[in-house]
Amino acid sequence: MNVWSLGRVAIASAVGALLLAACSTAPNTAAQVWMTSGDRTRVLSEQPGLTFSNGSSRPYRPTVTVDPSQRYQTMVGFGASITDASAWLIQTRLTPSARDALLQELFGRRAGGLGFSLTRVTVGASDFSLDHYSLADKPDPTLANFSSARMQEFVFPTVRRALALNPDLKVMASPWSAPAWMKTSGSLIQGQLKPEFYSTYAEYWLRYIRSAAEHGVPTDYLSIQNEPDFEPDSYPGMRWGPEGRAAFIGGHLGPALADAKLDAEILDWDHNWDKPEQPLGVLADTVAAPYISGVAWHCYAGDVSTQGLVRAAHPDKDVFFTECSGGEWSADFSESFRWMMKNLIIGSTEQWARGVLMWNLALDETHGPHSGGCGDCRGVVTINTQTGEIERNQEYYAFGHASRFVMPGAVRIASVEPKGLHGVAFVNPDGQRVLILLNDGGEPVVFNIVDGDRQAPAELPAFTAATYVWSPPPK
């Protein structure tokens, strides 16, 4: 080899070394991916990862862009209600080892647990109770007979175990009715709370909060009435208009909580998206409004965008989504899974929800137990009382796409999706990015995920949801 040839080899080697060095200063970042498809070929299944790289040399594709510099609400979490029915099934129809395994799977984070960090309990009976009761059934304005014994049987032990598995768990409490003797109907079913019992009912709340705390169950949030614009005819319920709710909160419960130094946060409404005038009416009351921390919503009528409209009018108030149930009216896995992803996981958080709750955590193979009300509702899981087997329903997978990856304290950040995709993005307290996407259409979508000057090519199959998790760029 002559000198000229040796020189060319040396130059080529030097250029290669420079290129290698340049590449080493801009390391690629891996993103983990989990998917659930409508045909159930994937159910919260981990997929091959994506690779982020610097630059924009890839062929043009539609982009999903996340922008961590634009930050919105801080998340409390996702979960489902520990109703009487759910707690009774978990405590009495599972062996101790099966019970602990299920609660670990739902509330824990190790070994792929869903990490539910928000739950709701019913103060007294709902339709998903074995029978109808309040915590003070005997007429007595002194509440001498007040007792949380019924909740101590199954509900409180279940919540305590969930808290042990996930200390981040927050608990909301909602009653379906005041005690019958306080109401115009004289019954737990239908009727309204008599104004002369407003102070007594405030004391009822203080006793509940203290009793629950004595048994290891906090009350982080409360609503004074589940679905106050509805009087069901077969299970406990109570109509309570905005003027009455404002009077009770501003003149009775709010001051009572403050005087007792109990820091449970009051959420108004706890009903559907279709009547924003109801919470707006309560928040317009200048005496009640300072005691109200936010508005809670249900899914059974109206549109999720209502959450954002009410928050725009009261940006100092939080938003929570506190009830939706799946059921046999929408039995198809793909259809109901995609509806929940679009409206609850993505839509509700895009419309400012800090927490998102499904209804029953667990029901049995006959959609119960229940006493009146819904006869074909579905739990997040189904516990077969004959075999003890656990069926994980579409609610399980929809909520798992968020709860397993979006940590308490995460902040929603800006994201922009191309036509054909729905999405929402978060930054976890440790800086990790979490992007949740849904392809609600019948064709796959090919796109790039863009985070600052980095991008990764991705493809989302038809009728499929995905969660992408990756680390921030090195500083």
Question: For 103-115, how does the pLDDT look when each residue is reduced to its tens digit (9 = 90+)?
Answer: 999 999 988 999 9
Pairing of strands 326-327, 390-392: unpaired
Higher pLDDT, 184 or 23: 184
Q: Is the confidence at residue 236, as pLDDT, over 60?
A: yes
The pLDDT of residue 9: 35
Q: Is the confidence at residue 339, as pLDDT, over 70?
A: yes
How confident is the prediction for the chain on average, in pLDDT? 94
* Each residue's pLDDT tens digit, 40-99: 999 999 999 999 998 655 567 899 999 999 999 999 999 999 999 999 999 999 999 999
How many Cα atoms sit within 13 Å of 42 on the Cβ side?
Answer: 19
* Each residue's pLDDT tens digit, 411-451: 999 999 999 999 999 999 999 999 999 999 999 999 999 99
Q: Is the confidence at residue 23, as pLDDT, over 90?
A: no
Higher pLDDT, 25 or 470: 470
- Class of residue 342 by CB neighbours under 10 A (exposed 0-12, middle 13-18, buried 19+): middle
Buried residues in 158-167 as b, exposed as e (16+ CB within 10 A): bbebbbebbe
Q: Is the confidence at residue 5, as pLDDT, over 90?
A: no
Over range 158-182, report the average pLDDT. 98
Supply 42's token pair. Answer: 């994937």
The pLDDT of residue 56: 59
The pLDDT of residue 29: 75
* Each residue's pLDDT tens digit, 288-316: 999 999 999 999 999 999 999 999 999 99
* Residue 6 banded pLDDT, cuts 50, 70, 90: very low
Beta bridge partners of 67: 414
Q: Is the confidence at residue 405, as pLDDT, over 50?
A: yes
Return all residues near 306 (Cβ < 8 A) that are at least 6 apart: 273, 274, 276, 297, 351
The pLDDT of residue 58: 58
Q: Is the confidence at residue 223, as pLDDT, over 90?
A: yes
Q: What is the DSSP letter of 450?
A: E
Q: Where are the beta strands (DSSP E) in 198-290?
A: 221-222, 265-272
The pLDDT of residue 11: 34
The pLDDT of residue 474: 80
Pairing of strands 221-222, 170-175: parallel
> Does the CA dihedral 107-162-360-79 come out positive or negative?
negative
Q: Is the confidence at residue 374, as pLDDT, over 90?
A: yes
Q: Is the confidence at residue 24, as pLDDT, over 80?
A: no
The DSSP string of 234-246 is: SS------HHHHH
* Residue 473 banded pLDDT, cuts 50, 70, 90: confident
The pLDDT of residue 181: 98
The pLDDT of residue 298: 99
- What's the pTM? 0.93
Do 184 and 191 meet the contact criterion of CB atoms below 8 Å apart?
A: yes
Report CA 346 to chain centroid distance, whole Å: 11
The pLDDT of residue 272: 98
Rounded Cα gap, residues 408 and 35, in angstroms: 22
Do 164 and 99 meet the contact criterion of CB atoms below 8 Å apart?
A: no
Pairing of strands 77-81, 353-360: parallel
* Residue 28 banded pLDDT, cuts 50, 70, 90: low
* Each residue's pLDDT tens digit, 181-202: 999 999 999 999 999 999 999 9
Angle at 128 between CA 126 and CA 134, to 5 degrees: 30
Q: Is the confidence at residue 335, as pLDDT, over 70?
A: yes
